[in-house]
Structure 1
Amino acid sequence: MSARPHIILRDADREDAAALIDLWTECAGASVDEGSEAFTQQSLWRQPGIAEASAALDLSFTRPDKRIIVALVEGEIVGATVCDIGTLTPINLTRVLVVTEIQVSPRFRRKSVASTLLSAAASYGEDNNCEIVVAAIPVHSREPHRYLTKIGFNQIAVLRAIQSSKLRSRLTTKATNSRDTGKLIAVRRTLRRRQGDVRGARPRP
């Protein structure tokens, strides 16, 4: 059994853009052979350039309740997670910590990187009076699901995704078809009513 590496945690910064691209790309590539669900998840991944990643990080840093934590081993970023603080619903003040993007390099899995990141996230939630911690992870990631279940997480929701252009197209098609169907039914009812009126107006022999 290999010794666990010394893990250092810190907040991400703009200069981490290239390293984070490498980490996300490595994790996405590791899911290629994990079945159709993994393929669906991977298809949502698009590798950005450094300029785009830097701009995205800058945007994240402008949000006071969002934090990106990275894990380093011997100076290399081998894991990362994103923490968001919000409320349970838009109409109450129950604070919730949402943990997403629990990314760990395949070369460093089963070496306590994920648990170390999650522990830091939990501490961040406690510091901000969060009553609930929600973890969002890909549906195909069986090992993380087992781990989170083991430490007490329960399933409370299902996340589904679709490209916005495809969603708009399908909703437009559905709405159009519904209108056409409704118009056709109305025309048929009008014709039947007129035919009934004509039959009722015919003089009896």
Structure 2
Amino acid sequence: MSARPHIVLRDADREDAAALVALWTECFGASQDEGSEAFTQQALWRQPGVAEAASALELTLGRPDKRIIVALVDGEIIGATVCDVTTLTPINLTRVLIVTEIQVSPRFRRKSVASTLLSAAASHGEDHNCEIVIAAIPVHSREPHRYLTKIGFNQIAVLRAIQSSKLRSRLTTKATNSRDTGRLIAVRRTLRRRQGHSRSTQPRP
């Protein structure tokens, strides 16, 4: 049995963009081995460029309720998780910690990386008086589900996803009883968004 590596934790910053893109890409590649059941999870993944990732990190880390914790071995980022402090519902003050994106490099799985990250997340939640910790992970990630169940997490919700254009099309179809009308409206909305984005990114004279 190989010795467990020395794991160092710290907060992520904008300069970690390239390393985090590499980590997410490596974890996505490993998920392809899970077969056709992982199709939905894979369909939601799009590899960003480093500049996009840096901007996204800056946006995320600019929020006071968000924290990204990274795990390093010998200076390499080999794991990460995202902490989000919020309330249980919009109408009460019960504070909860939502833990998402529990990413661990396949090369370092079963070496206590996930438990080390979760321990740090739990401490973060305690520091913010969170009464409950919620972990949100992809439905077909079997190993993380087994691990979280083993340490006491219970299923309390189901997350479902759909492309926004497809949702709008289907809702419009249901309202008008016309599939063609729904698709046409969805296409028009998409074109308007793209045109607006193109105008906003054009350099000013």
Question: What TM-score results when the alignment is normalised by the length of structure 1?
Answer: 0.85
Which ranges in structure 2 are unaligned for 5 or more consecutive residues?
179-205
Deviation at 1:33, TM superposition (A): 2.5
What's the % identity of the aligned pairs? 88
CA distance in 2, matches of 1:132, 1:16: 29
CA RMSD of aligned residues (A): 0.9
* Equivalent residue runs for 1:51-200 within 5 Å: 51-177=51-177
**SS in structure 1 at match of 2:93:** coil
Q: Which residue pairs with 1:3 in the alignment?
A: 3
CA distance in 1, matches of 2:60, 2:131: 23
Deviates more, 1:28-37 or 1:86-95: 28-37
**SS in structure 1 at match of 2:71:** strand
Aligned residues: 178
**SS in structure 1 at match of 2:139:** coil
CA distance in 1, matches of 2:177, 2:122: 49
- The answer to whether the 8 A contact 1:31-1:39 is kept is no
- The answer to whether the 8 A contact 1:79-1:114 is kept is yes
Which ranges in structure 1 are unaligned for 5 or more consecutive residues?
179-205
CA distance in 1, matches of 2:160, 2:144: 18
Deviation at 1:10, TM superposition (A): 0.1
- The answer to whether the 8 A contact 1:11-1:67 is kept is yes
Question: What TM-score results when the alignment is normalised by the length of structure 2?
Answer: 0.85
Deviation at 1:36, TM superposition (A): 2.5
The amino acid across from 2:145 in the alignment is: H
CA distance in 1, matches of 2:136, 2:76: 25
Q: Structure 1 stretches (4+) deviating beyond 2 angstroms?
A: none
- The answer to whether the 8 A contact 1:97-1:134 is kept is yes
Q: Which residue pairs with 2:21 in the alignment?
A: 21
